[in-house]
């Protein structure tokens, strides 16, 4: 009886090995599932990025408002006969920099 139980236990272990550690075993399935989930997350991020770029391209193709906005903010352009005002804030004085800078020589 003891030999029979040892043989059956060994047979069960041999049958379980491919299920857990074989080519199509549970460990491999879990790993592949994790990889699929990670790829789906990356695809969702790329899809959102592509949708934003697609909307921007449609805006640029349809009208001049988007082009004008880009020219103003990214290139610093202004319209003809337009007056440009730039407000420059004074930098805060720190203890390591002098309050008054020495005059620079002009050429």
> What is the residue extent of each domain of the chain?
23-77
pLDDT exceeds 80 at position 101: no
pLDDT of residue 37: 97
What's the rounded Cα separation, in Å, for the pair 80 and 34?
58
pLDDT exceeds 90 at position 34: yes
pLDDT exceeds 70 at position 31: yes
pLDDT of residue 99: 56
pLDDT of residue 104: 59
Q: What is the mean pLDDT of residues 52-67?
A: 86
What's the rounded Cα separation, in Å, for the pair 85 and 69?
17
Q: What is the mean pLDDT of residues 22-29?
A: 80
pLDDT of residue 83: 83
pLDDT of residue 91: 87
Q: What is the mean pLDDT of residues 24-31?
A: 84
Report angle CA 25, 41, 52 to the nearest 5 degrees: 155
Within the chain, how many helices (H) and strands (E) appear? 3, 0
pLDDT exceeds 90 at position 39: yes
- Per the CB < 8 A criterion, the answer to whether 54 and 60 are in contact is no
């Amino acid at each position: 009886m003891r030999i029979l139980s040892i043989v059956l236990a060994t047979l069960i272990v041999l049958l379980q090995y491919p299920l857990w550690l074989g080519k199509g075993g549970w460990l491999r399935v879990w790993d592949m599932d994790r990889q699929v989930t990670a790829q789906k997350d990356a695809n969702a991020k790329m899809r959102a990025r592509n949708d934003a770029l697609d909307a921007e391209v449609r805006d640029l193709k349809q009208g001049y408002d988007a082009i004008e906005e880009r020219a103003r903010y990214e290139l610093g352009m202004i319209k003809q006969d337009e007056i440009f005002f730039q407000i420059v804030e004074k930098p805060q004085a720190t203890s390591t920099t002098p309050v008054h800078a020495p005059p620079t020589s002009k050429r």
